[in-house]
């Protein structure tokens, strides 16, 4: 393995190189350089409006859904080194390899089973046996199987908020993504549901790469291996979570994590 695809002696899964992003005339991300280690949890922290969610949403091209958004620079995904924000790359291809879990649980108004199966159906997978198997596997992966195995065909809206969020995680897992993006996944959940989702994230990093945006610094400290601190569209500091939280090199980082602003 060449050195350019390594960081802290680990394989890197994705890498932003001089990434700029614009909402119309507004320059939201300013020249980010950033590496995501494979099968690790990387947390993005920073005050509201710093661009962490904007950055996250670049990874599955969510910005393409709205007009006047523009990417510059690149985000390379390894091992094949495709530029996922490149004009020549189909956003659908990117989204099939990189899944996302949103801030507010957003299950479809369909049954639990259909929610999980949807990603497979989109891919044209038909056989009932295959779908049954993948649905079970994903629900187990999201630590939800035991709670819902007897009511797979009930409406997803009958579940609690925490269950709905884990359902969204199962839905994202069903298609075997290489990277899973979490956009403040617990900000709408109570503490118990939050701790379940956190345990799940730690469990999931055994099989895939995780990138998570969080407002909650304790959460970043608890579950992430690496932490990036962003401020007004720039990456201020990046390092392993322990170092960032105990011995940050930048004054701004220190002020933020000690709660002096943000």
For residues 103 and 149, what is the distance between their CA atoms, to the nearest angstrom? 25
Report the residue number, 51 or 119, with the smaller CB distance to other proteins.
Answer: 119
Residue 215 C-alpha from the chain's centroid: 14
Least Å from the CB of residue 100 to other proteins: 4
Burial tier of 84 (Cβ tally within 10 Å: 0-12, 13-18, 19+): buried
Task: Give the residue with the Cβ less far from other proteins, 119 or 233.
Answer: 119
Q: How far is the CB of 104 from other proteins (least distance, A)?
A: 6
The minimum distance between CB 99 and other proteins, in angstroms, equals 7
* CB of 116 vs other proteins, minimal distance in Å: 10
* Closer residue to other proteins, CB minimum distance, 152 or 180: 180
CA dihedral of residues 77, 81, 87, 93 (deg, nearest 10): -60
CA distance 260 to 138: 41
Of residues 35 and 95, the one with the C-beta less far from other proteins: 95
Q: Which residues bind other proteins (CB under 8 A)?
A: 60, 62, 65, 67, 92, 95-96, 99-100, 102, 104, 106-109, 118-119, 121-123, 157, 168, 171-172, 175
- Edge to edge, what strands does the sheet with 226-231 contain? 98-101, 179-183, 209-213, 41-45, 226-231, 234-240
Nearer to other proteins, 36 or 62 (CB): 62
Task: Give residue for tokens 């969080």.
Answer: 214
> In this structure, what are the phi and psi dihedrals at residue 47, rounded to the nearest 5 degrees?
-65, 165
Minimum distance, C-beta of residue 102 to other proteins, in the bound complex (Å): 6
CB of 76 to other proteins, least distance (A): 20
| 93 vs 133 by CB, closer to other proteins | 93
Alpha helices in the chain (DSSP H): 52-58, 91-97, 112-122, 128-141, 145-148, 161-173, 191-204, 217-223, 241-246, 251-257
């Amino acid at each position: 393995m060449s050195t350019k695809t390594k960081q802290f002696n680990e394989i890197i899964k994705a890498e932003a190189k001089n990434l700029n992003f614009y909402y119309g005339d507004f320059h939201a991300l300013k020249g980010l350089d950033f590496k995501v280690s494979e099968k690790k949890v990387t947390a993005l922290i920073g005050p509201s409006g710093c661009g962490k969610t904007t950055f996250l949403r670049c990874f599955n091209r969510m910005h393409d859904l709205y007009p006047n958004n523009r990417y510059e620079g690149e985000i390379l995904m390894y091992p094949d080194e495709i530029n996922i924000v490149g004009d020549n790359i189909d956003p659908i291809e990117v989204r099939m390899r990189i899944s996302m879990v949103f801030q507010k649980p957003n299950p479809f108004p369909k049954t639990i089973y259909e929610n999980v199966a949807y990603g497979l159906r989109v891919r044209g997978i038909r056989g009932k046996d295959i779908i049954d198997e993948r649905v079970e596997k994903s629900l187990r992966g999201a630590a939800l199987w035991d709670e819902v195995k007897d009511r797979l065909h009930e409406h997803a809206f009958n579940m609690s908020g925490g269950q709905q969020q884990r359902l969204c995680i199962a839905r994202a897992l069903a298609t075997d993504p290489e990277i899973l993006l979490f956009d403040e996944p617990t900000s709408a959940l109570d503490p118990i549901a939050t701790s379940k989702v956190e345990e799940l994230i730690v469990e999931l990093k055994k099989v895939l790469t995780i990138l998570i945006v969080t407002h909650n610094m304790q959460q970043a400290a608890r579950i992430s291996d690496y932490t990036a601190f962003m401020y007004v569209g720039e990456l201020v500091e990046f390092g392993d979570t322990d170092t960032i939280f105990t011995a940050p090199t930048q004054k701004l980082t220190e002020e933020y994590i000690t709660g002096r602003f943000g």
